[in-house]
Amino acid sequence: RFFSQDSIVTDWYRGQLSSALEAINLKEVSFVMYYAPWDAESQYVRGEFEKAANIL
């Protein structure tokens, strides 16, 4: 997992695109983050993404 299990962010880390699209369609606003777990910028943005999720 890229995001911890207790994170407010739903992480489809196995690429379950159809599940992600279903969840996105249920909400008025959704933020989607595509990431590479080994990438330093993805690792940095992970914390910022979680901060934004907690505010929204």
Give the model confidence (pLDDT) of 33-46 as tens digits: 999 999 999 999 99
Domain count, the chain: 1
**Residues of the domain holding 36:** 1-56
Per-residue confidence band for 13, with pLDDT thresholds at 50, 70 and 90: confident
What is the average per-residue pLDDT within 17-46? 93
pLDDT of residue 32: 92
Note the pLDDT of residue 56.
83
Report the predicted TM-score, pTM, of the whole model to 2 decimal places: 0.76
Residues whose CB is less than 8 angstroms from the CB of residue 6 and which lie 6 or more positions away in sequence, other chains included: none
17 vs 43: CA distance, rounded Å: 21
Q: Report the mean per-residue pLDDT for the chain.
A: 93
Structure-token match 């993404």, residue found: 49
SS3 14: coil
